[in-house]
């Protein structure tokens, strides 16, 4: 057994012409039954099959071809070769069939013999029904009743009872419907395949002092690649030379180009702006952020949503029940009630046509595929139909504060000098002390000094007082910076400033006191700044139907209260450790039912895993966010969260529309068949037409935009600027 497993290969094949989810399931079973195939799994949404096998791949490809589909190795080419209209045999035969139906119709009104007219209709049946009959025969051999077999039986039955015109019309409408269905499904699948074309196939590499253009598959870690202005960045890496701006919209959905200079990270598939840069490769082509997104999206499209699972169970029993009903209708009235055989056999054939649940089975996956693909192109990675549906039903969302609602790094919010000392002097002395410190508050002061272009003097004899502050000699004077406890120990606590310190602390700010050995020189208030996108995101979520917003934070109650008030958040839970956040999510779920959690994907992993839907930010910059979250916002802000909620709700609405419409069409035509109001071509038109309408309705999700945030239009413009392969 171990030896057999060792010999197994895992091969991915791209499929063409696979436009019916029910037919996909039957093809999967056919491939699974091949000798030497251990496992076969079709991803209908992505149009591919993954096979674990010992038999040659050519045998599997031949089996796919025999079943009436086309297959190719997934790594063979990025795009299937384009065909002209006249090279598409199916399309040519369908067109010829339609022409023959039209000719036969007009000849039937002339004095030409009926035999000749029937010959024209036969030509229409043979040309339009060739692929249908071939697939139907394959289906019969594998003992499965797919739509091709049922349609073949219906047409043969129509001819047998002399209904040549009806049989020819049925064949043409079915062939035309299949052609249109295949076209629309391919268009839906292209919503994610378009991502594959973002990254170039080759790159300009600097090796041994020479510039070489090599395929991206041949690049190695630490290779230096040159990206010229206006070119697409071919690999993930770090900028080592040059300055530019990069359009990251295809990956992160950000609405504006991002400035990149030495030390900054860039992603494959993003577009370089005005400057030339040199980039050190940090990931191989199969490990780039873009490659991971494509892989995760295709896996997500393969996962069945709850509504799809219910539909599959229904379809499993529906088709056999209707086929049995058709047999009974054909025989019972004729055998037991002396009814005309031709009348009831025709009604039985109509039932056969409408017995295949194509529209119903495809109603959910086409919507999921369109929504997930569209979201990925806008910087929102949704990892399955189940999460898409869950997000659409959320009414409560909890947020981590630090790094989610806020920037996650403290900034100087206020500088308050004392007794005639200037604000600049306060920062000069504070920065001189903090230059030797690694504390986040020290970094905030140094960043502020740099932004304000304040020259920092040199400090000597640096001392750190753990949990209290630091000291150094600056310009010959001993200076201290720290909290109230440090200055109480120095007997320098500024009692007159206590009220001001309390006010600042109640505003959610951390206050540092600066002083010499004799007096207090000033106060510096530092705070974690609220993200610019947070207010718009909160407002957008309200409009998207989220009724309760909760903030979870390890910060103090005062800071939590202020930020919650500023953002208009309904509730907050403060001073929480990571395990307390987990308990808070569990409590919220007991109180409200389903709860979504938004965090950074690292410290919040337990809470994200417990929530009905875990949403991580900054997915483009961290593998952890991509792996732990159910939904990942690729940009490091909340601007796309209202869009994700809106898309989820729209998807739920369209799935329900598709399911009810499909069921209604079936019910109407079953009733019409028994009452004698339906005929064969009407049944085909309804069945194929319903499938096309369901696909078209699902495809509307590809056009869903963000109706809530102001930068939506800019993001659409940038996202449309895709890279072209060199």
Active site residues: 400
Buried b (16+ CB within 10 A) or exposed e, 217-237: eebeeebebbbeeebbbbbbb
CA distance 624 to 209: 37
Number of helices (H) and strands (E) in the chain: give both, helices first.
Answer: 25, 26
CA 564 to CA 17: how far, in whole Å? 53
Per the CB < 8 A criterion, the answer to whether 163 and 353 are in contact is no
Please say whether the beta carbons of 593 and 397 come within 8 A: no
> Is-contact 474 481, C-beta < 8 A?
no
Q: 441 with 512: CB under 8 angstroms? A: yes
The token pair at 183 is 């076209």
Residue 640, phi then psi, degrees to nearest 5 = -95, -5
How many Å apart are CA 523 and CA 445, to the nearest integer?
12
What is the CA angle 268-274-277, rounded to 5? 55
SS3 annotation, 524-535: EEEEEEECHHHH
Calpha distance 482→471 (Å, rounded):
9
Of the CA atoms within 13 Å of residue 702, those in its CB half-sphere come to: 19
Q: How far apart are CA 63 and CA 595, in angstroms?
A: 46
Task: Name the DSSP letter for residue 455.
Answer: P
Ordered DSSP codes for 66-124: HTT-EEEETTS-SSPPP--GGG-HHHHHHHHHHHHHHHHHHHTTSSS-HHHHHHHHHHH
CA–CA dist 726, 718 (Å, integer): 20
The two beta strands, 396-400 and 595-599, are: parallel
> How many angstroms separate the Cα of 462 from the Cα of each of 454, 456, 488, 512?
20, 15, 20, 17
Answer yes or no: are the C-beta atoms of 514 and 501 closer than 8 Å: no
């Amino acid at each position: 057994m171990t030896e057999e497993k060792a010999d197994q290969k895992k091969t991915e094949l791209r499929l063409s012409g696979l436009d019916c989810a029910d037919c996909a399931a039957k093809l999967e079973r056919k491939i699974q039954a091949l000798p030497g195939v251990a496992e076969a799994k079709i991803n209908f949404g992505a149009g591919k099959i993954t096979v674990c096998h010992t038999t040659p791949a050519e045998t599997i490809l031949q089996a796919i071809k025999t079943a009436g589909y086309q297959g190719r190795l997934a790594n063979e080419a990025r795009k299937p070769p384009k065909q002209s209209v006249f090279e598409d045999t199916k399309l040519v035969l369908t067109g010829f069939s339609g022409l023959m139906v039209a000719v036969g119709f007009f000849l039937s009104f002339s004095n030409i013999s009926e035999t000749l007219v029937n010959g024209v209709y036969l030509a229409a049946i043979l040309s339009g029904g060739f692929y249908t009959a071939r697939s139907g025969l394959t289906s019969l051999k594998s003992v499965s009743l797919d739509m091709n077999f049922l349609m073949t039986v219906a047409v043969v039955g129509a001819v047998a009872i002399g209904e040549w015109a009806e049989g020819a019309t049925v064949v043409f409408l079915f062939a035309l419907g299949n052609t249109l269905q295949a076209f629309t499904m391919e268009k839906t699948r292209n919503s994610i395949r378009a991502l594959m074309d973002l990254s170039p196939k080759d790159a300009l590499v600097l090796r041994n002092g020479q510039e070489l253009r090599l395929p991206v598959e041949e690049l190695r870690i630490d290779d230096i690649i040159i990206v010229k202005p206006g070119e697409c960045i071919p690999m993930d890496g770090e900028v080592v030379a040059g300055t530019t701006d990069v359009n990251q919209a295809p990956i992160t959905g950000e609405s504006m180009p991002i400035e990149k200079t030495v030390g900054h990270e860039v992603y494959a598939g993003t577009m370089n702006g005005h400057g030339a840069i040199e980039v050190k490769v940090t990931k191989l082509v199969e490990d780039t952020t873009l490659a991971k997104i494509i892989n995760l999206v295709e896996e997500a499209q393969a996962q069945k949503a709850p509504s799809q699972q219910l539909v599959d169970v229904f379809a499993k029993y529906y088709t056999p029940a209707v086929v049995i009903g058709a047999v009974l209708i054909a025989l019972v009235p004729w055998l037991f009630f002396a009814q005309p055989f031709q009348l009831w056999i025709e009604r039985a054939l109509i039932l056969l046509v409408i017995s295949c649940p194509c529209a119903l089975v495809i109603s959910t996956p086409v919507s999921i595929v369109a929504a997930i693909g569209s979201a990925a192109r806008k910087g929102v990675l949704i990892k399955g139909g189940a999460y898409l549906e869950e997000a659409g039903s959320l009414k409560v969302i909890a947020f981590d504060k630090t790094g989610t609602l806020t920037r996650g790094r403290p900034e100087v919010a206020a500088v308050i000098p004392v007794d005639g000392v200037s604000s600049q002097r306060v920062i000069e002395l504070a920065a001189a002390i903090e230059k030797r410190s690694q504390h986040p508050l020290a970094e905030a002061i140094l960043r502020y000094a740099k932004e304000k272009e304040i020259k920092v003097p040199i400090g000597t004899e640096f001392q750190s007082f753990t949990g209290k502050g630091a000291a150094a000699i600056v310009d010959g004077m001993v200076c201290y910076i720290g909290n109230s406890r440090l200055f109480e120990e120095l007997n320098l606590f500024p009692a007159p400033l206590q009220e001001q310190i309390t006010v600042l602390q109640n505003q959610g700010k951390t206050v540092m006191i600066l002083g010499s050995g004799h007096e207090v020189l000033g106060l510096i208030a530092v705070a974690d700044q609220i993200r610019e996108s947070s207010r718009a995101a909160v407002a957008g979520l309200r409009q998207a139907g989220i009724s309760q917003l909760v903030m979870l934070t390890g910060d103090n109650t005062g800071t939590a209260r202020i930020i919650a008030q500023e953002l208009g958040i309904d509730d907050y839970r403060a001073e929480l450790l990571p395990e307390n956040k987990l308990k808070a999510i569990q409590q919220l779920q007991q109180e409200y039912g389903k709860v979504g959690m938004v965090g950074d994907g690292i410290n919040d992993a337990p809470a994200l895993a417990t929530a009905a839907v875990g949403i991580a930010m900054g997915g483009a910059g961290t593998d952890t966010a991509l792996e732990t979250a159910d939904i990942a916002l690729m940009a490091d802000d909340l601007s796309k969260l209202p869009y994700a909620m809106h898309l989820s709700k729209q998807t739920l609405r369209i799935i329900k529309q598709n399911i009810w419409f499909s069921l209604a069409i079936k019910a109407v035509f079953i009733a019409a068949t028994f009452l004698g109001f339906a005929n064969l071509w009407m049944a085909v038109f309804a069945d194929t037409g319903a499938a096309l309408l369901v696909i078209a309705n699902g495809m509307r999700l590809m056009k869903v935009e963000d109706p809530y945030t102001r930068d939506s239009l800019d993001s659409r413009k940038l996202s449309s600027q895709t890279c072209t392969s060199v």
